[in-house]
Amino acid sequence: MSAFVHEPRGLAKFHAPEVVFGPGSLAETGFAALRLGARRPLVVTDPGITGAGWVDRLLGVLRGSGLVPVVWSDITPNPKDHEVRSAYVAYEEHGCDVIIGIGGGSCLDAAKGVAVLAGNGGDILDYRGVDQLHHPIPPTLMIPTTSGTGADVSQFCIVTDTSRSVKVTIMGRALVPDISITDPTLLRTMPEWLSAATGLDALTHGIEAYVSLAHNPIADLHALSAVGGVLDHLPAMFEHPDDIDAGAGMAQASLNAGLAFSNAILGATHAMSHQVGGLLDAPHGVINGILLPHVIRYNARSEPRRFGEIARAAGMYVDGMPGEEAAELLAERVEKLAATLGVPAGLGALGVTLEDCRTLSRTTLEDACLTTNPRAATAEQIQELFEAAL
């Protein structure tokens, strides 16, 4: 925890990649890769992105710049340790250099995992925790096709340890991509459930970053902008995937959320969500949407004023209202939004049982995201939160 919260007040560090943003920006990928020294880039993606046609579009851009790309597309949601290992083998066998991730957070995390192994060797699970990388990694370029994970700008890499059925967090400044290319037109092929899940993930990023023990004034600006942006644009994007303005607004909100949490870290919602995702291989953003209101209520006892500020950024009239009351209204707003997006009311609908809650609470304590939660939590308190969310 000390690495996050004991730096002198007033000292703020902010890590961000070069950001290329806007409709049509996918066409810039070849130039961007060349700037990173690419000759034979490895493109890490999944069958859904391939089927949507974006990989072929990307390959055309890369080849048009004289590059010889290699594609690895065997990535599944919540990327598995063995998938990262296999992708790394392809990187080595083909003599690749720059690593390009295109897809949702799973593809981008897998691409980062390949970079970790390419620069440091060993096994991907060796690097769980904070700043465990001791050697440089190859250049990375990330292209998100969803509006919420923030993996394209963050210093996080989340991988499922299949032997224990838990997600592990790998974190460090080296994992901040060199270049992030956000083309809002790529969001149009998201299915409704994925639009909902990633949007709720972005909302959680903004809220947790703002109240994190590691928050700073620069990250705060991005966090509040993300909260307002998600609430302004997610419902419209969910209802009308072809709404260009809504898509661009959500892409911007996702980018802001990623920059916020990459620098301020997260909290109990993510620490808990990672455990459920590892156990059930369930959509991360959906789990966040269920857990977030419960964690807001829990954390509001430590940070009532900042939750009032979040509620104000969310467009809620809370002037003069005690912080805990504003936090309750915010929690209710999140619950209503999640319900509108079709998210189940409880974890039980995803398959979590009362018996699971004890195990999940213990593994939550191992997650790096919990270290910056604004209110300390014991295993018993976390178990109570899981049970309340059933």
pLDDT tens for the chain, residues 1 to 390: 334 444 445 677 799 999 999 999 999 999 999 999 999 999 999 999 999 999 999 999 999 999 999 999 999 999 999 999 999 999 999 999 999 999 999 999 999 999 999 999 999 999 999 999 999 999 999 999 999 899 999 999 999 999 999 999 999 999 999 999 999 999 989 999 999 999 999 999 999 999 999 999 999 999 999 999 999 999 999 998 888 899 999 999 999 999 999 999 999 999 999 999 999 988 999 999 999 999 999 999 998 999 999 999 999 999 999 999 999 999 999 999 999 999 999 999 999 999 999 999 999 999 999 999 999 999 999 999 999 999
pTM of the model: 0.93
On average, the pLDDT of the chain sits at 94
**Domain harbouring 342, CATH code:** 1.20.1090.10
**How far is it, in rounded angstroms, from Cα 88 to Cα 84?**
6
CA distance 218 to 216: 6
- 124, 153, 186 - which closes a domain: 186
Look at residue 4 in the predicted model and tell me its pLDDT. 42
* CATH code for the domain of 42: 3.40.50.1970
Is residue 23 located within the same domain as residue 93? Answer: yes
Specify the residue for token string 């009239």. Answer: 317
Q: What is the pLDDT of residues 327-369, one digit of tens each?
A: 999 999 999 999 999 999 999 999 999 999 999 999 999 999 9
Q: What is the structure's pLDDT at 11?
A: 72
How many structural domains does the chain have? 2
Q: How many CB atoms sit inside 10 A of residue 123's CB?
A: 12
Q: Specify which residues 179 forms β-bridges with.
A: 18, 141
Cα 68-73-74 angle, rounded to 5 deg: 145
Task: Say yes or no: 329 and 373 in one domain.
Answer: yes
Same-domain check for residues 322 and 251:
yes
Q: Do 293 and 372 share a structural domain?
A: yes
189 vs 186: CA distance, rounded Å = 7
Query: Beta strands 42-44 and 99-103: pairing type?
Result: parallel
Judge if 46 and 17 occupy the same domain.
Answer: yes
CA distance 118 to 123: 10
What interhelical angle do 323-340 and 284-299 show, nearest 10? Answer: 160
Tell me: do 29 and 128 sit in the same domain: yes
Say whether both 115 and 227 belong to one domain.
no
Helices (H), the chain: 2-5, 29-35, 47-51, 54-64, 81-93, 105-120, 192-211, 217-239, 244-264, 268-280, 284-299, 304-313, 323-340, 354-364, 379-388
Whether the CB-CB separation of 116 and 125 falls below 8 Å is answered with no
Query: Which pLDDT value is given to residue 9?
Result: 53
Rounded to a whole number of angstroms, the CA Rg of the chain reads 20
Tokens 């080296």 locate to 174
Q: What is the residue-wise DSSP string for 184-246?
A: GGGGGG--HHHHHHHHHHHHHHHHHHHHSTT--HHHHHHHHHHHHHHHHHHHHHHH-TT-HHH
Same domain, residue pair 307 and 292: yes
Are 30 and 83 within one domain? yes
Shared-domain flag, residues 360 and 220: yes
- Is 164 found in the same domain as 200? no
The residue range of the domain holding 115 is 2-186
Same domain, 31 and 163: yes
Specify the pLDDT at position 245.
Answer: 92
Distances from the Cα of 274 to the Cα of 17, 160, 182, 361, angstroms: 25, 9, 25, 11
CB 337 within 8 A of CB 202: no
- Alpha-carbon distance 142 to 145, whole Å? 10
Say if residues 231 and 200 touch (Cβ distance below 8 Å): no
Looking up tokens 């419902």 gives 235
Burial state string for 329-339 with b = 16 or more CB within 10 A and e = fewer than 16: bbbebbbebbe
